[in-house]
Amino acid sequence: MSDLTFPRQYARTQRLTLGEPRNVTVSPDGTRVVFCRSAAGDDPVNCLWVLDVGTGTERLVADARTLLADGDDTELPAEEKARRERAREGAGGVVAYATDAAVTVTCFALAGRLFVAGLVSGTARELAVDGPVFDPRPDPLAARVAYVSGSALRIGELDGTSWELIGEPEAEGGESSITWGSAEFIAAEEMRRQRGYWWSPDGTTIAVERSDSSPIATWYIGDPAHPNVVPTQHRYPAAGTDNATVSLHVVSLDGSIVDVRWDADAFPYLANVVWADADRLLLTVQSRDQTDLLVLSADPVTGDTTVIFDDHDDQWVELVVGTPDMLADGRLVVAADRAGARRLLIGDTAVSPSDVQVRAVVAVGDGTVTFLANPLDDPTVQHVWVCDTDDPDGPSCRSLTAETAGVHTASVGGGHTVLRSSTLDAHGAVTRLGETVIASNAQTPLVEPNVTIHRVGDDDLAVAVLLPHGAIEGPLPVLLDPYGGPHAQRVLSARSAYLSSQWFADQGFAVIIADGRGTPGRGTEWERAVYHDLAGPVIDDQVRALEGITEVLRAQGIELDRGRVAMRGWSFGGYLSALAVLTRPDVFHAGIAGAPVTDWRLYDTHYTERYLGDPFSDPEPYDVSSLLDLADRLTRPLLLIHGLADDNVVAAHTLQLSAALLAAGKAHEVLPLSGVTHMTPQEVVAENLLLHQLEFLRRALRIEP
């Protein structure tokens, strides 16, 4: 690897993630651990593996290249391409799989074809069903497989025959706006629900989402570099406009249908569905303004629903991954904000510590709940917790990972917990079951993060600082490298979070990363500080972080060149970078805005309305948070970067800001990326993007290479 540079390695290895064990499942009998992993750190094709818990040996179950007979896995159904974009999935091969209840059989799709594998026998084969195949899932008893094909939900039998369970008649003149069994755009992009159907525990019925996207306006995403290609039609629910109409139905294998009924006018968002048992479905539904949430118990025979939990917040009710669920004795498991922190609730009782912020529920067992959480005073870590719900003295919670500062997640089954741990002390992540470590093939990065984490200001802003290695001569130019928005953090006790930032530091910058108000982990009030204003608090906190860390470093004998300060970011971070040079040119002297949201009216309903409300009934929060009206204030170098195939933050954001800047006579630079979506998985694009940004920063800040 002597001729390998970090930008090339970072691109080729998809940010050093290839080769790591992923998508871990533990069998209920505790004898098998199933996972995906590619053969090398620069191999994007994942295979399916099984770890034998008793012996600690691994078996290859499914090799995508062999199963496809060296065929091409890049030709994917449109639904799978969309799912991968929503999941930010850049790898190939077996990137998703589903199992029966006993985790003895699995199925997955490759190139739109259906494959099944025995996890005990270790053999895989194709079921030559009618396709293309999307999101296949075996029934809990491993008798057959359901899958989505086009707008229909189909059943594949183990002999290779298949039949349509439910679908929509083919639309006259083109594709139907109605789909069965697929998550609609908003659910997949913003609710973290990637699926649209759920087998009953006995395998006799399936709860199926029906989605009608016809109320949504059609947007057209073209590729100007290839004007002969017809633009893609994309129904995009922009803030304040109509969403898809979503309903839920219980469909028996004999074709009979039961409609699940609730007040969909008052609660149009279907956030989650889970079978509590064969006789009861649990649904999470949410109001359009997201201030109210209900958990409903549904009778799959009659379709009647009963409210078993409700929650209200004057700003918004947060959706929590892994909830709701139900203990074996019928007690409901949810998570909700109570008295300033997100708590684990058993029934209506908060059982997690009051100084801990619950992030997700991992598993609900007979008498235990495994969940992820961080101390309210330290959002840089995430620990795995277990709540013993059958403790005679009342539910009690303990952390499994508290002794090791880092970011920990877990997979649970059969009395075993597989931990995945990332820390500041080691590269990559370690996935282990007890003393058994599941091997990682990820490459060792060519940079060594020289990172320290600080807390600055009266409210203890979390700030990471990355400095060049070796002696530091003279004041360092500064690069802020934040995300800065809701639902994501950049300041983490994990070395892998800082690789690209360290590369910039090694080019002679002091790189500053701050998680301000609105980012997760710090409790209810902290997250809601951006309500009706996505601009003011976030930029103020970046400035406060810079000022605070300047004093911290000065006390250590390190000076920052406050006359040469830039910011770079992607998505919300791109918005923040453009905001920085537009509103605070006294602090920021250059900005790189990748895929920025520039007008929140062009972003989607569920995300945007949660923070800014309805733009038609109250436009002021949108005006306050927009960049377009600030165009005439630009006095600093600004580089705008946008993928022209982006269907999440569409390129219109950058193009409209560029037009406004041009109309105001403000010089700026635009880098359009042909064929690139909100991700940048293409190796040549990802590598040269880093190099191009470095060249821009040196030029804008007048830095000699």
pLDDT tens, residue by residue, 117-168 = 999 999 999 999 998 999 999 999 999 999 999 999 999 999 999 999 999 8
Q: What is the pLDDT of residue 171?
A: 64
| Residue 593 · residue 231 · CB < 8 Å | no
Q: What is the pLDDT of residue 394?
A: 83
| Residue 575 · residue 596 · CB < 8 Å | yes
pTM: 0.96
Whether the per-residue pLDDT at 71 is higher than 90: the answer is: no
Whether the per-residue pLDDT at 1 is higher than 50: the answer is: no
Whether the per-residue pLDDT at 571 is higher than 90: the answer is: yes
Residue type, 564: R
pLDDT digits (tens, 9 = 90+) for 335-370: 999 999 999 999 999 999 999 999 999 999 989 999
Judging by beta carbons within 10 Å of its beta carbon (0-12, 13-18, 19+), is residue 50 exposed, middle or buried? buried
Note the helical H segments in 556-636: 572-583, 605-612, 620-625
Nearest 5°: phi and psi at 609?
-70, -25
pLDDT digits (tens, 9 = 90+) for 175-190: 789 999 999 999 999 9
pLDDT digits (tens, 9 = 90+) for 512-552: 999 999 999 999 999 999 999 999 999 999 999 999 999 99
Q: What is the pLDDT of residue 78?
A: 84
| Residue 311 · residue 345 · CB < 8 Å | no
**What percent of the chain is predicted at pLDDT more than 70?**
98
Please tell me the distance from the alpha carbon of residue 554 to that of residue 558, in angstroms, as a whole number: 5
Mean pLDDT across 289-294: 98
pLDDT digits (tens, 9 = 90+) for 489-518: 999 999 999 999 999 999 999 999 999 999
| Domain boundary assignment for the chain | 451-700
Higher pLDDT, 44 or 169: 44
Whether the per-residue pLDDT at 173 is higher than 60: the answer is: no
Q: What is the pLDDT of residue 684?
A: 81
Among 90-94, 187-191, 318-322, 649-653, the range scoring the smallest mean pLDDT is: 90-94
Judging by beta carbons within 10 Å of its beta carbon (0-12, 13-18, 19+), is residue 425 exposed, middle or buried? exposed
The domain made up of 451-700 is a member of CATH 3.40.50.1820: yes
Whether the per-residue pLDDT at 392 is higher than 90: the answer is: no
Q: Give the dihedral sign, CA 226/227/232/236.
A: positive
